[in-house]
Structures are given as C-alpha cells and as structure tokens.
C-alpha cells in the first residue's frame, strides 16, 4: 500500500460503524456527538458575580494589608474606627523627641527643635505681652529651647561691649577711641552666669524648697534666656550722648524685662506650699536681681 492510500481515522471520512476514534466503540466514543445543555442565564450571572466579588475582596484585602503595614510603621499616625465597620479617621500624633547619650550631640538636638515662627512668637511675647505670665504654658507649650538663651546671650555680650566703648567715646569727646577687649569676657561671664547659673539657683529654690511641681530646669533657662532680650535695645539706645536719655532707656527696658520675669515666676510660685508671704518676697527678690543686672550692664 502506498503512503497516499494509508488510512487515517482523523483525516478520512468513514462510516459510523467503522469509526475507530469517535464511534460507539472508539477511544473517544461519545465526544463527537455529545451536546452541552443550554446553561441557565441566572446561574451564569450568579457565578460571574461571585467571581467578581471574590476578586474585589482579594484586592481589598491586599490593600488593607499594605495599609495596615503603613499605619503600623508610621510613628506619627493613629487610626480609629467604629465597631460597625464605619469610616475610619486618622489622628496625627507628634513623634517622640530623639534622646541619646547625655554627652552626645543628638541629646542636645531636642533643645534646639524650633523654627523661625516659634522664635518670633516667643520674642514678641516678651515685648508685647510681658504682663501675661503665660509664656511657658501658652507660648512655649512644653517645647523650651536653648537657641535664644545661647545666641541671644552672645548677641547681648557683643552689643554690651561695643555699646560701652561707644558710649565712653561719645561722652568724652577729647578721648581717642579705645576698645577694651576685657569687657567682652566680663560681659560673657555676667550674662551667661545670670542666664544659666542664677536661674539654676532659682529653679532649685522653687522645686526643692517651695515644692513647685511640673517645672524643669530647661524651662527656667528658656525663661531667663528670653528675658535678657529686653536689654538689647538698651545697648543700642545707650549710645546716645545724652545721659538723661540713656537712663530713661535703661529704666524702660529694665522694667520690661523685670515685669516679664516676675509675671511668669509668680504663676509658678502661686502653686508652692510656702504660702503667699514667700511668694511675694521671692518674686520681689527676682525682680530686684533683674533690675540690678540692667544697672550693671548700663
């Protein structure tokens, strides 16, 4: 038999009785003539809806897993929801301040965590509302800084030394210009000693003796650091060669700084256990020391 005459059950048309593939006795019996009943449209639509719902649920579950991971890893957000599966609300919470070893720079970074708007608001409170007495509670709001106590003190040291030399030069017309560099070191010792050492004594008196609570030494340093800013205009206005005006400028700025300190310290002394007699005498003593500083700087 030639190759063209060979029988192929898949290519040659044969009778049903001789069908070895799809006939009644073939290997694929019944597949060739079987018919599929018409599917119910309702069942088809239900199956499609179930498949769509399952896909949507899987997608939502995947998104919720990643959303949950993001919420868990985010230190500045907290999610709250209702028990009946309602809408959720995200409440921002401040991240905790970084703290490290006390001899590392990262530990002191928290004391300089202020921006320009914060410093401007605090400086304006000193000059526009020194009588309010809410500097620590209403303006600082638990975030005291050492930026102004350090750099404001450095500015005051420079202006004090320069203003003193300029005032002497204007007062004595016949004298030559003489700048004494020792006034810089004296001013630095006086100003930084007042801001950090004297305020430390005030803090120990309030906490250890008077029993004032919720007061930190950084709060007192911040309070005294901003109070000395009132002396900066004195250093500038004191260059006027009229002695009366110089005394008037010194007295006005000293009264501003003293009022700022006394009003804020008074709020703390009122919570002490020593009574009003101690409070009045202590606040008066604080004011007298601040006024004496202005006379020394003059």
pLDDT digits (tens, 9 = 90+) for 203-252: 999 999 988 888 999 999 999 999 999 999 888 887 777 778 888 888 89
Predicted pLDDT of residue 9: 52
Q: How confident is the model at residue 12 (pLDDT cuts 50, 70, 90)?
A: low
Query: CB–CB of 18/29 below 8 Å?
Result: no
- Residue 81 — pLDDT band, cuts 50, 70, 90? very low
Distances in Å between the Cα of 109 and the Cα atoms of 117, 141, 148 are: 18, 18, 14
Judged on CB neighbours under 10 Å (0-12, 13-18, 19+), 173 is: exposed
pLDDT of residue 39: 47
pLDDT classification of 267: cutoffs 50, 70, 90: confident
Q: Cβ contacts of residue 126 below 8 Å, gap of 6+?
A: 135, 226, 227, 229, 230, 256, 257, 260
Using alpha carbons, list the distances in angstroms from residue 48 to 53, 56, 74. 9, 12, 39
Angstrom distance (rounded) from CA 165 to CA 25: 124
The stretch 150-154 carries a mean pLDDT of 94
Query: Which comes out higher in pLDDT, residue 176 or 6?
Result: 176
What b/e string do you get for 238-248 counting C-beta neighbours within 10 Å, with b at 16 or more? bbeeeeeebee
pLDDT at 153: 94
Q: Is a pLDDT exceeding 60 seen at residue 278?
A: yes
pLDDT at 43 over 60: no
How far is it, in rounded angstroms, from Cα 165 to Cα 227? 24
pLDDT score for 264: 93
Average pLDDT over residues 160-177: 74
Work out the angle between the directed axes of helices 147-171 and 182-192 (0-180°, nearest 10). Answer: 140
State the pLDDT at residue 204: 95
**Across 69-83, 174-188, 272-286, least confident range:** 69-83
The label of the residue with tokens 């003293």 reads 258
Mean pLDDT of the chain: 74
Cα separation of 197 and 225, whole Å? Answer: 12
Cα 19 from Cα 25, distance rounded (Å): 8
Mean pLDDT over residues 171-191, rounded?
A: 80
CA–CA distance, 197 with 181 (Å, rounded to integer): 24
Output the pLDDT for position 8. Answer: 54
Whether the predicted pLDDT of 61 surpasses 90: no
Q: What are phi and psi of 90, to 5 degrees?
A: -105, 125
Neighbours of 252 (CB within 10 A): 14
Residue 294 in this model has a pLDDT that exceeds 50: yes
Q: How confident is the model at residue 57 (pLDDT cuts 50, 70, 90)?
A: very low
Name the least confident of 10-19, 77-86, 179-188. Answer: 77-86
125, 132 Cβ separation under 8 angstroms = yes
Residue 83's pLDDT is what?
39
Concatenate the DSSP letters of all residues of 172-234 into one string.
-TTSPP---THHHHHHHHHHHIIIIIIHHHHHHIIIIIS---S--HHHHHHHHHHHGGGGHHH
Residue 244's pLDDT is 85
């Amino acid at each position: 038999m030639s190759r063209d005459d060979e029988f192929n059950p898949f290519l040659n048309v044969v009778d049903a009785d001789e069908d070895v593939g799809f006939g009644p006795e073939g290997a694929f019996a019944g597949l060739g003539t079987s018919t599929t009943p018409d599917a119910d449209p309702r069942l088809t639509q239900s199956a499609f809806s179930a498949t769509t719902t399952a896909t949507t649920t899987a997608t939502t579950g995947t998104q919720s897993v990643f959303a949950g991971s993001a919420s868990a890893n985010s230190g500045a957000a907290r999610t709250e929801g209702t028990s009946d599966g309602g809408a959720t609300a995200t409440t921002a919470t401040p991240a905790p301040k970084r703290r490290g070893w006390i001899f590392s720079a990262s530990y002191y970074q928290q004391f300089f965590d202020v921006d320009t708007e914060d410093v401007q608001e605090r400086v304006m409170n000193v000059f526009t509302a020194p009588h309010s007495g809410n500097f620590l509670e209403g303006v600082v709001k638990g975030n005291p800084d050492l930026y102004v106590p350090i750099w404001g003190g450095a500015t005051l040291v420079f202006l004090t030394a320069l203003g003193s030399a300029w005032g002497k030069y204007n007062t004595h017309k016949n004298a030559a210009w003489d700048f004494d560099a020792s006034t810089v070191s004296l001013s630095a010792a006086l100003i930084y000693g007042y801001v950090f050492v004297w305020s430390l004594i005030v803090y120990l008196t309030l906490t250890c003796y008077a029993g004032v609570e919720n007061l930190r030494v950084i709060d007192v340093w911040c309070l005294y650091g901003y109070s000395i800013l009132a002396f900066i205009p004195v250093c500038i206005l004191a260059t006027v060669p009229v002695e009366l005006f110089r005394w008037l400028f010194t007295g006005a700025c000293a009264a501003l700084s003293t009022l700022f300190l006394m009003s804020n310290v008074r709020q703390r002394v009122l919570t002490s256990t020593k009574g009003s007699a101690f409070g009045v005498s202590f606040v008066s003593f604080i004011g007298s020391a601040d006024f004496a500083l202005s006379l020394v700087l003059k």
